[in-house]
Amino acid sequence: MQRYTLNILLVLACLGLVLLTWQNMLDSYVLTVLMLMGINIIFASSLNLVNGYMGEFSCGHGGFMCVGAYVGSVLSVICFSSNKILGAALLPPALAPWCFPLILLASGFAAALFGLLVALPSLRTRGDYLAIITIAANYIIISLIENVDVIGGPRGLSGMKRTINAMQDVLDIPWMLIWVIVGTIFSLVLLRRLVTSTRGKGIPAVCQNEVAAEIMGVNTDRVKITAFMFSSALAGVAGALSAHVFGYVNAQAFNILKSTEGLVMVYLGGMASLSGSVLAAVVFTLLVEALRFAIPAMDGLLHAVHLLPADFALSQIWKWVLIPLLLILLMQFRPEGIMGNRELSDVFPRLRRWYTFN
């Protein structure tokens, strides 16, 4: 029983969260932040597979999230909402709860296909040369989507709220929260299963010594393609989830800046550490939100003690000065990220007694 303590606690916490939301006891802002956190966890941990475990430097992960977000949104709009261009709803709303996971899967699948855009060049080149291929892929994907007018082009696409409403009509529970929780846990479990299997250990082997890996019988081409596609697929799921959480999607939301956020979370958490990525995603999301409130407070304080001239107000833009600054400082103090390349259970071996993840 002891071995399941943490598992049970985790389940209870999720259930409690769902219950609170169901009873409308959770502020909708808090709820959005929590869901964002889950999405960031998927985004960061999937990027860690490529950047941490495989040691590549992919800086275009946002592109795959974008593919997932758009494919998910388009499917969702086609199926469950009437749209001037995409036509009337294809399916009865009662099917929404059953189709939504399929939509998520399809988004992941589509993103994985776009992952090939990077996976195939990775067979020929690596390191910084691959890095720019990933950047180029990011630009190409965004540019591609912006040029398709049917899905809104640069104006973006909305209408996904209809799907959620349809689900809510079937059963009145906080569907999006549940899907985000399920998606997050699923992604982490799958990633963990992959990297702890002997087959999955081929991924760090490629990073640590590619020549040895190939000559000792590891099919490095296959390992690379698997890692890239799997990581893009999860990013795609994260994208589809985020599109539905916000009910609106725009390609520019997934540009290099989004990819940079992913990089920050991965390296902040520590390369090749899933728990590190989770921790970093939580910390990063909270940091961004905390500063939203901290900046007006700081503004008031600094004006009160007359450190700032009266006509100068601290705007929210300072957030994006303070966050990088904090991250730089963090990296100066812990140049290997929060967790290094260890997992939480390596740092606290006693933890192992309290959980069973397989």
Q: Which of residues 130-189 bind another protein (CB under 8 A)?
A: 131-133, 135-137, 139-140, 142-144, 146-147, 154
SS3 content of the chain, % helix, strand, coil (to 5): 75, 0, 25
Q: Which is nearer to another protein, 13 or 325 (CB)?
A: 325
Q: Which stretch binds another protein (CB under 8 A): 19-27, 28-36, 122-130, 161-169?
A: 122-130
Task: Give the residue with the Cβ less far from another protein, 93 or 200.
Answer: 200
Structure tokens at 246: 């916000």
Among 39, 71, 188, 264, binds another protein (CB under 8 A): 264
The single residue among 324, 348, 353, 357 that binds another protein, judged by CB under 8 A, is 324
Closest contact distance (angstroms) between CB of 275 and another protein is 17
21: left (phi over 0), alpha (psi -120 to 50) or beta: alpha
Find the part of the chain contacting another protein (CB under 8 A) among 41-49, 79-87, 204-212, 285-293: 204-212
Q: Using the rule CB under 8 A, which residue among 286, 325, 352, 356 binds another protein?
A: 325
| Nearest one of 71, 90, 68 to 79, comparing CA atoms | 90
- Residues 209-248 binding another protein (CB under 8 A) are 209-221, 226, 230
- Say whether residue 104 binds another protein (CB under 8 A): no
> Token pair of 187, please?
């992604």
Contact 52, 263 (CB under 8 A): no
**280-309 residues near another protein, rule: CB under 8 A:** none
DSSP per position, 289-348 = HHHHHHHHHHHHHHHHTT-S-TT----GGGHHHHHHHHHHHHHHH-TT-SSTT--HHHHS
Tell me the two tokens of residue 316.
């929210």
Give the interface size with another protein as a residue count (CB under 8 A). 76
| Subset of 51-70 contacting another protein (CB under 8 A) | 51, 57
